Structures are given as structure tokens and as C-alpha cells.
Amino acid sequence: MEFEYSLEDLKAFFPEGSLEGETTETIRGLAVLKKAQAGDLSFLGNKKYKNEVPESQASVILLPKNYEGSPQAGQVYLRVENPSMALAMLCAEIEKKLVPTPEPGVHPTAFVDPQAQVDSTASVGPFCFIDRGAVVGPRCVLQSHVHVGYQVVIGSDCVLMPHVSVMDRCILKDRVRLQPGAVIGSDGYGYEPNDKGEHQKVPQIGHVVLESDVEIGANTTIDRARFDKTQIGEGTKIDNLVQIAHNVSMGKHCLIVSQVGISGSTVVEDHVVMAGQVGLAGHLHIGKGSMIGGQSGLNHDLPPKSYVRGTPAYPYRDAHRLEIFKKKLPELYKRVAELEDRLGAAQEA
């Protein structure tokens, strides 16, 4: 990374922050508390690392406003409401410098069908394919080897990274971001057995709609609907290696972590969080604000604001109690066996 921020720059960038201490160092790097050196900026985003702050060699440390302590000589504490969010804002600024926006235009190796529409402010990279009837909106960036299918509509300010595929008739609203290898609109998994015992493919003639500010992780797949649409709500963020099946309807501002699998026609309401490797059966209804713990398997509906984990999934406290009971099973088995032996001996006497 190549960037520089003076203390004056940081003051201007975080006007609501309060500073304690002095440093003559220019910030040239970012590092975690334990590894930071002079010239680095670090932050306290999780209270479990609080004990590392006094020993950190970072020149500037972003801290919560209620942090108690004083900086070392040549060090500055910059107290803000949310250090993690503050760092995210700074990283967004750094990203603009490190990864400049490509110039508008279509690369000579890209193919754009004559009946497609590409806004003059959009950038289409090497070896992209844009099919007939597709629309690419203002200021979009399509990096190399992106496939845009028949009659796809892409809104404004979207970013499609290398080897993304957006299949026929899918719709991306504004500011959608697709990481490398994401596939939007692959066929849903649908088959019907015929009278010969063979699995006959069911045509999947629907499409996928990604609402504004949706982000999709690398190698995640979202299947087109059997009919109508598979929909991902505004502001939802989906991690890498997630599979979302046909006709799923997902609400706004959900967080879906890596390796989640959601079966067909499941409805997920707004602000739902699913941790890694959660598996959902089909045709479920997950209530608003629910949280599902890692590696949980769910085969029943959830009311709003549920907090569950386990396979099958139980309310969080019940699941925790069951884990404790499982650990006690060997000892319980031993005690029952001893009681049976004693009871048998007493009956023989």
C-alpha cells in the first residue's frame, strides 16, 4: 500500500474525533495493534483486544470515546464513536487512491452486441461479453471476462469483477457489487421423475433481481426462479461460496456469511443474520431480525427476532444447555449401568 496521511489530514477526516498526544510521524500503513510499528495506524474494534492498546507501537490508534488510558510518547489516541466504522471510512478513501476508477469506454477485445446499450460513462474491460438487448448503466465498471446475458439490465454505479456471469433477463439495480466468479441467474435445481424413473429437467424461466446496494461474494451462486423471480433485498450483503436456490425471497439489509445454503422458495425477512455454513430447508419463512448460529440446520419457520443454533436448530439458550448435557452423557451412562448392576444384585439376593 502506498499512501500518506499527516495528523492534520486525519483531524480533517475525523472532525468529530478527539485527539490526545502528539506525533511527527506520517501515517503510511495500517496494522493490528500487536503488529503495528511507527508510521502505522491501528484501531480497537473489539474489546477483547483492549489489553493490547498500551503496548502497541502504532503512531495513531483509533479508540472508542469511553476508552480510559493515555498514549505513549510520540503516539496519538484518536477517540471516535465507532473505531471499526471510522477505519472502514478511511479504507474506502485509501481504496480510491490504490484502485483508481477505470476510464470509460469499451476495451477492444470486448464484444458488445449491436442491440445492447452501454452508457458512455461505463467501463467495459478486456474479453467481456454483452448480449443482445442488455443495458449497462452509467458509471458501471465491468472488469475482465464478465458475461452479461440476453436482456440483462444493470443500473448505475455497479461493479462486476472478473469472471462474473449475469445470465439472461436478470436485473441489477444501482450500486450492486459482484465479487469474482459470482454467478447470477444460473438454472434453478428442478427435476420431476417421469414414468420411466428418469429425472426430467423442469425449465427455469424466471430471473433474479438484486436490489440497490447489494453485494455478492466470490463464487456465490444465485439461481433464477422457476417462474417469477429470485430476489435479494436492498443493502443485503452475501459472503463467498453461498448458494441461494430458485424463488428465494430475501429482505433488506441481511447478512449471509460464507457457505450458507438456502433451499428453494424460502422467504427471509429484513435484517436477518446467518452465520457460516447455515443450511435452510425449502419453503420456510424466517422472521425479521432473526439470527441463526454457525453450522445450524433449520427445517421449520422462525418468528421475528429468533436467535437459534444447532442441528436441528433450537433457541440459543436451549441449544447451549443441550451441549452441556451431551458432555455429561458418558458419565450418566456409567452411573445408569452401575445402578442396573446394583439393582440386579439386589434382586438376586
pLDDT tens readout for residues 111-138: 999 999 999 999 999 999 999 999 999 9
* Bridge partners of residue 232, in order along the sequence: 210, 250
Interatomic CA distance for residues 283 and 109, integer angstroms: 44
The answer to whether the beta carbons of residues 130 and 116 sit under 8 Å apart is: yes
Whole-number Å distance between alpha carbons of 290 and 309:
11
Average pLDDT, the chain: 95
- Contact predicate 187/211, CB 8 Å: no
β-pairing verdict for 307-309 and 314-315 = antiparallel
Which among 31, 87, 91 is positioned nearest to 59, based on CA atoms? 31
Average pLDDT of the residues in 13-36: 95
* Architecture of the domain spanning 164-312: 3 Solenoid (2.160)
Find the length of the chain: 349
* 201-241 pLDDT per residue, tens: 999 999 999 999 999 999 999 999 999 999 999 999 999 99
The pLDDT of residue 281 is 97
Q: Which residues contact 342 (CB under 8 A, 6 or more apart)?
A: none
Phi-psi region of 259 (alpha: psi -120 to 50; beta: other; left: phi over 0): left
Grid look-up 503495528 returns 36
pLDDT digits (tens, 9 = 90+) for 66-118: 999 999 999 999 999 999 999 999 999 998 888 778 999 999 999 999 999 99
Q: Which amino acid is at 147?
A: H
Characterise 77 by phi-psi region: left (phi > 0), alpha (psi -120 to 50), beta (else).
beta
Residue-wise pLDDT for 291-319, tens only, equals 999 999 999 999 999 999 999 898 988 88
Give the Cβ contact number of residue 74 at 10 Å. 13
Q: Could you give the 3-state DSSP secondary structure of residue 98?
A: helix
| Residue 246: active-site member | yes
Q: 7-98, superfamily in CATH?
A: MurE/MurF, N-terminal domain (3.40.1390.10)
Q: Which one is catalytic: 145, 147, 207, 246?
A: 246
- Is residue 315 within a helix (H) or strand (E), and if so which, with residue range? strand 314-315
Question: Strand 76-80 relative to strand 18-21: parallel, antiparallel, unpaired?
Answer: antiparallel
